[in-house]
Structure 1
Amino acid sequence: MGIEGPFWRAIAVFRVASLVYAGILLIQHDGYARPALGWLVIGLMALWTAASIFLYSVDAVRGWPLLVIDMLVTVACLLASPYAQGRFQFAQGVMPLPATWVAAPVLAWAVYGGRRLGAVGAAIVAAADVWLRVRTPGAPVYLNGAVLLFLAGVVVGHVARLAKQAEERMQRAIEMEAAQRERDRLSRGIHDSVLQVLALVQRRGQEIGGEAAELGRLAGEQEAALRDLISMRPAPSGDLRTLLTRYGSATVTVSTPATPIVLPPATAEEVAAAVGAALDNVRTHVGRDARAWVFAETVDDTVIVSVRDEGDGIPDGRLQQAERDGRLGVAQSIKGRITDLGGTVTYVTGPGEGTEVEIRIPAGESA
């Protein structure tokens, strides 16, 4: 039940207290036209109070069918008031037969669906009460109860929604803390084994020279990348900056702002994948040792990511020819991904000037 548990228990207490209050009002007033019918309605209210308290406590049952039935039972008891009270119902200061018990489904709707659903529940109950009074000639129409129902539904719904959001944030914080503890545990093991081996390979490779020196250089790059990986703290979900930083190496320089570049998680993953595809193209067509630069920034409501290399550039028509030949790396891995996200991809290249891939993605909710 989580954070909602106290709300449902409070509503259960409210139902019982309101039921007792309705019974006391029926005992005090002896001017009802049909007291027996009044007690029959009170009995129905008591049965539904017991049933609803149990049903709302079961997570699998709590949902729209129960909410609708709760509202129908309440409105039925409210509409039975004129038949039990007769003309006495419209005397000054006399409440309908269910009295404050009619607010219970409004509170239930508010806790379940927030302030908007609470307002809808209040409107239904208030409309039934006003209809009873309007249909009787000469009966006074009071809106005080409708206003109080509306305020109760909106306020309780708002508080319940805030409580749910706070619970979700706390759960995410707990998960991040657990992930960090696991990361720290793995970091200690990696530091004592893998990093030491990579450092030894790098040092010995440089001492031996030749092909071993190349292996040593690669080992040094992997050691640096692994140290960066295990030292990173959990980042906000959808932080593009963190995803791009993982591409950094001895040949790839990644420049990002100091603050997170937050996008919807799926969007951030797709943009990072497109950048990875662009870097793969650099290694394939320019060389594994070619230098590349990744730059990311946010301008107004647009995230701009560029990937630049030091190659000889792309000849005119080369991309179109590759697409016609069925080589769809650029068309699908880069342009296809970004186009599906509502963004654009621009290639800036020239003979001997290298190639720059510029990716633009909307940073707002449209992303």
Structure 2
Amino acid sequence: MARRERVVRMSVEQPLWRALTAYRVLTMGYAVLLFVFTREQFERPWVAVGFLAALSVWTLATLPKVAGAAGCTTRFLVADLTVALTGIMLTPLADVHAQSFDGPTLPSIWTAGSVLAYAIKGGWRWAAFASSLVAVANIVERGEPSRDTLHNVLLVWVASIAIGYVVEVARASERTLARALEIEAATRERERLARDIHDSVLQVLAMVQRRGTALGGEAAELGRMAGEQEVALRTLVAGGLTRTSHVSEDESLGAVVREVEEPDDDGPADLRALLARHAGARVTFSEPGTPVLLAPAAARELAAAVGAALDNVRRHAGEAARAWILLEDWPDEVIVTVRDDGPGIPEGRLAQAEGEGRLGVAQSIRGRLRDLGGSAELISVPGQGTEVELKVPRDARGKAGK
């Protein structure tokens, strides 16, 4: 029987919304009861009755709004805080002597619910804004605020900002946890696929390679191709860099099969992803364990220069040549070295090629690096292969970024 996994989406802030809903209902009832027991102290009780009636209707009607972040819109928050501030400013009108003693305002502690809604929705900055308006309204309502009034105002201000900050930290932790769970799930799926591929496809390719080599002739060529595909597939199974798969065929350097992700023009691109597609049976790619980030245009130009260097390996080093790509990430620059084990370049051959109009090295490699503010150095010793060292400054932007 197949095992089914159930994914449960956890939300650290949903309990806060439920608590806020209950708080608003309870504090609404508290404000009404407080007026009932002290109604003889009000010179204009009809003002208090009108406001508390409106407060009760508003609270009950907007319960769906505070049930989650989606319903708690900015327009609702502004309207809710306006109700609270109106109640505070109406307190002296309903009770002429309210300014002479530190009695509760008409909305009482219900006002804190409006501030908490700001904190849960927008974090500590929104909470600071809302609590500051409440503080100003309380001070204006008191006229000459006492120490107790200032103490209460400061308490609401600090508490709301603290809650808003905790909410922001909780959201960041939730995002980190969700990302970790996604990576764990992807890893488990990749391991499962690797087991299945190892038990089937890789074994078949290995068998074809052995039998083809033993038979010789055209079967040997078929065996060679099967061996290249086996190496490329093992590279893929071992774990590509990112999500989107690119498959290309290179007759001289072997099949290239790596998982890579196209860079996002809105943010830095990981150069490893662009260079990984060149890896194959005869091309070895060595990379750092952490992302190598460059501006997207610069990353694409540098990757194109590496591709041009590998093109030269295919054309001039022969089918049996191997190539190595080394990516180095330094604080102020990025260095990519492309090396092969071919026969090397005879002295004066590059100058002769430029004179004949063949500008592969001059334009495709050195030209690109010059536009990036970098450099390209070519070292070749006859009989010992060729090495191309590409250096790009960390702040390179490329043509698109100029």
- TM-score bucket (shorter structure): 0.7 to 0.9
Q: CA deviation at 1:244?
A: 5.0
What is the aligned partner in structure 2 of residue 77 from structure 1? 87
Amino acid at match of 1:19: M
CA contact (8 A) 2:48 2:106 kept: yes
Q: Judging changes above 3 Å, is the alpha-carbon distance between structure 1 residues 244 and 112 closer, same or farther for their aligned structure 2 residues?
A: same
| Structure 2 alignment gaps of length 5 or more | 1-9, 244-260, 262-268
Q: CA deviation at 1:108?
A: 1.0
Which stretch of structure 1 is more off in the superposition, 5-14 or 227-236?
Answer: 227-236
CA contact (8 A) 1:107 1:152 kept: no
Match of 1:312 among 345, 360, 381: 345
What is the aligned partner in structure 2 of residue 113 from structure 1? 122
Is 1:55 aligned with 2:65? yes
CA contact (8 A) 1:308 1:357 kept: no
CA contact (8 A) 2:283 2:325 kept: yes
Is 1:348 aligned with 2:372? no
What is the aligned partner in structure 2 of residue 33 from structure 1? 43
Q: Distance in 1 between matches of 2:373 and 2:319?
A: 27
Aligned length: 350
Q: Judging changes above 3 Å, is the alpha-carbon distance between structure 1 residues 296 and 230 closer, same or farther for their aligned structure 2 residues?
A: same
What is the aligned partner in structure 2 of residue 91 from structure 1? 100
Correspondence list, 1:1-367, <5 A: 2-29=11-38, 30-57=40-67, 60-86=70-96, 88-133=97-142, 136=143, 138=144, 140=146, 142-210=149-217, 212-232=219-239, 247-257=278-288, 259-261=289-291, 263=293, 274=304, 277-278=307-308, 280-286=310-316, 287-300=318-331, 302-309=333-340, 311-312=344-345, 315=350, 318=354, 344-349=373-378, 352=381, 353-361=386-394
Q: Distance in 1 between matches of 2:69 and 2:295?
A: 29
With normalisation by structure 2, the TM-score equals: 0.72
Q: Distance in 2 between matches of 1:38 and 1:93?
A: 17
Amino acid at match of 2:183: M
* Deviations, residues 29-70 of structure 1 (Å, cap 9, x unaligned): 332221221122112221221123212226543322222222
Which stretch of structure 1 is more off in the superposition, 354-363 or 187-196?
Answer: 354-363
Q: Judging changes above 3 Å, is the alpha-carbon distance between structure 1 residues 269 and 139 closer, same or farther for their aligned structure 2 residues?
A: same
With normalisation by structure 1, the TM-score equals: 0.78
Secondary structure of the residue aligned to 2:30 is helix
Q: Distance in 2 between matches of 1:33 and 1:11?
A: 33
CA contact (8 A) 1:349 1:355 kept: yes
| Structure 1 alignment gaps of length 5 or more | none
Q: RMSD between aligned alpha carbons?
A: 3.9
Q: CA deviation at 1:266?
A: 6.9
CA contact (8 A) 1:346 1:357 kept: yes
Which stretch of structure 1 is more off in the superposition, 168-177 or 75-84?
Answer: 168-177
Q: Judging changes above 3 Å, is the alpha-carbon distance between structure 1 residues 104 and 282 closer, same or farther for their aligned structure 2 residues?
A: farther
Q: Distance in 2 between matches of 1:293 and 1:81?
A: 79
Which stretch of structure 1 is more off in the superposition, 171-180 or 11-20?
Answer: 171-180
* Deviations, residues 89-139 of structure 1 (Å, cap 9, x unaligned): 223331222111111121111111111221122112222222333xx4x55
